[in-house]
Amino acid sequence: MRQSLGVRLWRLSIIAFVAFYLLVPLYAMFDFSTKPFGFADKGRTFRAWQMIGEQQDLFQAVTRSLISAAIVMALILFLVVPTAIWVHLKLPLLRRPFELLCLLPLAIPAIVIVVGIAPLYRWISINVSESPITLAGVYSMLILPYTYRSLSAALDAVDIHTLAEAATTLGATISRVIFGIIMPTIRTGIINGSFIAIALVLGEYTISNILNFKTFQVVIAQIGRSNGNVAVAVSLASLLFVLFLLLLIPNKKRQGAVLDVDLA
């Protein structure tokens, strides 16, 4: 059935409004980052973008934040996802308590979390490591509400009980059911949760700043105290980098094939 002209115009207007809402701040960031530094400069200049490579702590901060994001994604893939699947399959009575536990970090202010974990991270800094990569533990806790909602929506959209029963009947082990059958089926929810994890790790500032860790956002804030143009250029570059990562993820149309799972 062909859509009416009114419906198409309504959808196009919504898309145009959302695009305007998202693109105007990005254009404003680019406009500010290319403004002249002083009265000696005339017209637009890309000196702020050229100075990104001169920031000594920036590369290390980005590397550490990406490593922390990779650790958080690994914890999501090998700990949170199997636990959520197991609760949905075998422990339906624990779904509400498990959901409440995962959503609990939303109800606790960041400053309260910092006060609670500060002694722990003081001990970690003295006895284990002073690297900001150790923040992956608290980031994994902060990401739980968003990851669980993404996984829960994906699990509710698929009849995992039928898939598990069919696979078990054909001789698949429980690990094979979880990692080989159900997880590929809900890969969209897993990917969404993973990108939320990347966004949180690259964008978190409060906890890392109070605990005196030089993460990506803390370094950007430090750069902004001396040169706002460079700080805005770095922020815009990071947004474009995350967008590039999003475009690299293949969707169903690009995959062009159906995942076949060998149960033997």
Q: What are 213-236's pLDDT values in tens digits?
A: 888 888 888 888 878 788 888 888
- The angle, 0 to 180 degrees and rounded to 10, between the axes of the packed helices 144-156 and 95-107 is 150
Q: Name 208's Cβ contacts closer than 8 Å, sequence gap at least 6.
A: 132, 135, 214, 215, 217, 218
Q: Which residues are CB-neighbours of 96 under 8 A, at least 6 positions away?
A: none
State pTM to two decimals.
0.76
Nearest to residue 32, comparing CAs of 229, 199, 249? 229
Per-residue pLDDT reduced to its tens digit, 41-76:
667 778 788 888 777 778 888 888 888 888 888 888
Q: What is the mean pLDDT of residues 238-254?
A: 66
Looking at 1.10.3720.10, 3.30.9.100, 1.20.20.10, 3.30.43.10, the CATH number of the domain 62-213 comes to 1.10.3720.10
| Distance of alpha carbon 262 from alpha carbon 181, whole angstroms | 9
Which residue type is seen at 209? N
Share of the chain above pLDDT 70, in %: 89
Separation of alpha carbons 195 and 244, rounded Å:
12
Mean pLDDT confidence for 76-105: 87
pLDDT digits (tens, 9 = 90+) for 79-91: 888 888 888 888 8
Angle at CA of residue 90, ends 88 and 91, nearest 5°: 70
pLDDT in tens, 142-188: 888 888 888 888 888 888 888 888 888 888 888 888 888 888 888 88
% the chain with pLDDT above 90: 2
Structural domain spans, the chain: 62-213
> pLDDT tens for residues 2-35?
567 777 888 888 989 998 998 898 888 888 888 8
Q: Which residues make Cβ contacts (< 8 Å) with residue 160, sequence separation at least 6? A: 85, 88, 89, 182, 185
Whether residue 62 contacts residue 235, with contact meaning beta carbons closer than 8 Å, is answered with no
